[in-house]
Amino acid sequence: MIRLQRLDLPQDTVTRMGGHTKEIRGSEKQSDKARYLWTHTTVRRHVHPALFATLGDMAPGHERCMYCGDNQGSDIDHFEPLSVAPLRAFEWKNHLLACAVCNSHHKRHVFPRDEAGRPLLIDPTIQEPLDHLHLVLGTGLYRGLTPQGGTSIDVFGLNARGALVKGRHDAYSTAALFLEKWRAAADKGQTDRARDTVRIAWDRPLADVLASMFHQAVHPAAELLFSGEDEVLDLLRDPALRAGFLG
């Protein structure tokens, strides 16, 4: 996961969603009403397209899943499920873009909370995932830094899906090549090529690997984390390169 900025919906969509929330609030069986409205033809025609479009603009890469960062985002996920919070069915802040694997196979209706009732899943639109997850770059495996991090790893199967782990491992090597390509273009004064390199690097699947690399490069234990990768670490610490990729 990487930190994402929530964008604004078109005003007519906001108005429609507010009306549907009022309908749910006035119903005796709110969960049934929320589920009915969410799947109704009118909603699928007039609300879902705007949600998909805006979530796609927010998502990493080319409309990637906001949880795994690998697959195409195909589902509008209710962060807090309909069965748990029917009044949030049409709440914009409760919508994320997910792939079918994360949403339908792993998360489903699971929504764990801690003893104080706080969600134990990471919402990348309101939290910095790097505060909760540490990626072991050499293995492609995540380690939870907090209860939210550990629970998110388990619920979304971030370490249980072999192809996903291998993809993150390979993405580390690929990202290093993009850093070298940017450095070469910058040294030659090829500003446009350097800018395109940044765009393509962030648009690739598993952008969380690149984000983790920059984050870990300034960690006090960076030399240990990048043991044997001195050239990569030097690039990640280069002020101009960091400005180019993170600015």
Q: What predicted TM-score, i.e. pTM, was given to this entire model?
A: 0.92
pLDDT tens-digit map of 207-233: 999 999 999 999 999 999 999 999 999
* Structure confidence at residue 139 (pLDDT): 95
On average, the pLDDT of the chain sits at 96
* Structure confidence at residue 135 (pLDDT): 97
Domain ranges of the chain: 1-107, 162-246
Name the pLDDT band for 22 (thresholds 50, 70, 90): very high
pLDDT tens-digit map of 124-181: 999 999 999 999 999 999 999 999 999 999 999 999 999 999 999 999 999 999 999 9
Mean pLDDT, residues 74-102 taken together: 97
Q: What value, to the nearest 5°, has the Cα angle with vertex 64 and ends 92 and 78?
A: 30
pLDDT tens-digit map of 191-200: 999 999 999 9
pLDDT tens-digit map of 25-56: 999 999 999 999 999 999 999 999 999 999 99
